Amino acid sequence: MNKVSVVVGTQWGDEGKGKIVDLLAQTADYVVRFHGGNNAGHTIVVNGKKYPLHLIPSGILHPNTKCVIANGVIIDLEVLVSEINMFVNDGVKVDGRLFISDRCHLILPYHKALDIALENARGKDKLGTTGRGIGPTYSDKVSYNGIRIYELVRWDLFVEKFTFQTEIKNEILKTFGVSEIKIKKELEKIAELRKEILPYVADTYQILKKAIDAKKNILLEGAHGVMLDIDFSPYPFSTGSNVIPGAVNTGAGIPLQKISHVIGIVKAYTSRVGGGPLPTEIFDKIANQIREVGHEYGTTTGRPRRVGWLDLEAVKFACEVSGVTEVTITKIDILSGLKKIKVCIGYELSPSVIARSKATKPALPAGRQSIKIPYSSCGYEELNKLTPVYKELPGWKEDITKVKSFKALPKNCQSYVKFIENFLGISVKLISTGPAREEYIKL
Ligand code: GDP
Ligand code: IMO
Ligand code: MG
């Protein structure tokens, strides 16, 4: 049987997907990115060396694994070239192992300028995007204004389209008071980057189809997290792509029936970068402790991440909508030393907030000020106003980074894992206990 596995972040991104993909890639023939761009920042730590990856799939350090950037990914040429060079200079063979779809859309200088200009225009309501041009590139894609690697290969077509689009975008940028993009200068820069990319351009659909026919082991590396999915997040506090495994079909051309495993990555607590609701966010001493011990600073932008307790109401939804078949828990080591650990097991909300969007006011049970509401019924207004219902679990003191079996974990840590497993109703198959490749427990 085929093994086609999808790794999906079940929270707001930065769950530790890169570490897990690198670990699982040991036995994968192909690792595939299928959506998002260099707003993703996936960290791999091998032999004490840290690799922050934004576009190259996290299987690149395994010499027998091939890496595919499939059609759903959007590409910033400068970032991709510098990432390729980082590995080449490190002695990693990339040639013959990296394949980039010519259907990928390009993130161009005006996309980044527009992303930043729109954020500035939003003022206090800014979304906190990564400023990497993600939203503007995906919106150009669906409004038929995008430019793909296909055109980059056919340089004359690229020059024509890039000139036309830059002229239009410069008019828009002018209204924001932003200086114009210099077409000639940018074309010169892109022409140089193009030469470095061309050897990797391929028909990735055919590569993956043949791999599936040959029963190869394929690992699809999701980016971001379900809570940022363009449809299932509290829009517009979203990223520009679908994050759920449905995007494997549109973003890599792999039929959904071929997917055999969906691995949901659950960080043992919550983090979020940028604006938008975060129901279990905390601001106290514990928040600072988790942020510092967990190094919760963005891999892409270096921004401090907001932190909070594990939100199982949100994670349960993410697992359901993604069809998660097994769970990996990450960063549980960061909770060592906390006396008590809270876990959100549901949301409660005053009916007056719900009633705004419903024809009839929901009935309030006698003696109650609020009623239960599932994540899926919440928009940003509800998520900002609800009260999380917490279960408090006892913590543990021991450092668990070097523990190699579930039984050797402190009893309260075991109970924490079991609580998550029972709540989600999905087996936990792997626990990550540190950033390094070898720091994990298999169940
Ligand atoms: P991704 O975007 O989901 O790949 O996650 P990031 O790489 O942005 O952020 C996760 C951070 O936690 C990185 O610095 C990882 O090296 C680190 N990390 C991953 N798993 C673990 C773990 O189990 N324990 C600890 N302490 N760090 C981890
Ligand atoms: P990985 O793959 C965390 C967030 C941004 C912002 C929102 C929109 O490393 O888990 P965008 O630049 O995508 O238009 O910004 O989405 N965001 C992420 N947050 N991890 C990520 O990826 C993210 N990708 C996007 O911070 O709030
Ligand atoms: Mg990240």
The closest ligand to the CA of 20 turns out to be 1
Residue 271's DSSP bridge partners are 307
Its CATH class, for the domain covering 270-442, is alpha beta
> Does this chain's domain 105-198 share its CATH topology with 270-442?
no
Residues with CB under 5 Å of ion ligand 3 are 14, 41, 299
Q: Are the C-beta atoms of 176 and 123 separated by less than 8 Å?
A: no
Ligand 1: residue whose CA is nearest its atom 6:
14
What is the pLDDT, as a whole number, of residue 319?
Answer: 98
Ligand 2: residue whose CA is nearest its atom 3:
13
275 labelled ligand-binding: no
Q: How far is the CA of 224 from the centre of ligand 3 (A)?
A: 7
What is the pLDDT, as a whole number, of residue 369?
Answer: 75
The closest ligand to the CA of 296 turns out to be 1
Its CATH class, for the domain covering 3-103+201-267, is alpha beta
Residue 5's DSSP bridge partners are 219, 261
213 labelled ligand-binding: no
Residues with pLDDT less than 70, the chain: 1, 354-367
Q: Are the C-beta atoms of 110 and 173 separated by less than 8 Å?
A: yes
- Dihedral Cα 48, 52, 55, 56, nearest 10 deg: -10
What is the pLDDT, as a whole number, of residue 356?
Answer: 65
Angle at 348 between CA 418 and CA 243, to 5 degrees: 65
Q: How far apart are CA 83 and CA 80, in angstroms?
A: 5
What is the pLDDT, as a whole number, of residue 412?
Answer: 98
- Dihedral sign of CA atoms 310, 312, 313, 319 in order: positive
What is the pLDDT, as a whole number, of residue 256?
Answer: 97
Q: How far apart are CA 332 and CA 330, in angstroms?
A: 6
Among all residues, which ones are annotated catalytic?
14, 42
pLDDT per residue as tens digits for the range 339-351: 999 999 999 998 7
Tell me if the bond preceding 236 is cis, omega within 30° of 0. yes
The closest ligand to the CA of 223 turns out to be 2
Q: How far is the CA of 21 from the centre of ligand 3 (A)?
A: 12
171 labelled ligand-binding: no
Q: How far is the CA of 16 from the centre of ligand 1 (A)?
A: 4
- Mutate which of 15, 331, 431 for ligand 1? The one with the most ligand atoms within 8 Å of its CB, which is 331
> What is the position in ligand 1's atom list of the atom closest to the CA of 58?
4
- Encoded tokens for 266: 């659950």
Task: Assess whether the C-beta atom of 57 lies below 6 angstroms from ligand 2.
Answer: no
Ligand 1: residue whose CA is nearest its atom 2:
14
What is the pLDDT, as a whole number, of residue 360?
Answer: 59
Is the full-model pTM beyond 0.75?
yes
Q: How far is the CA of 222 from the centre of ligand 3 (A)?
A: 11
Task: Assess whether the C-beta atom of 129 lies below 6 angstroms from ligand 2.
Answer: yes
42 labelled ligand-binding: yes
Q: How far is the CA of 417 from the centre of ligand 2 (A)?
A: 27
Domain ranges of the chain: 3-103+201-267, 105-198, 270-442
Phi, psi of 214, rounded to the nearest 5 degrees: -90, 10
Residues in contact with ligand 1 by the CB-under-6-Å rule are: 9, 13-19, 41-43, 45, 295, 299, 330-331, 333-334, 432-435
Phi, psi of 158, rounded to the nearest 5 degrees: -60, -50
What is the pLDDT, as a whole number, of residue 176?
Answer: 97
- CATH fold, domain 105-198, is Adenylosuccinate Synthetase, subunit A; domain 2 (1.10.300)
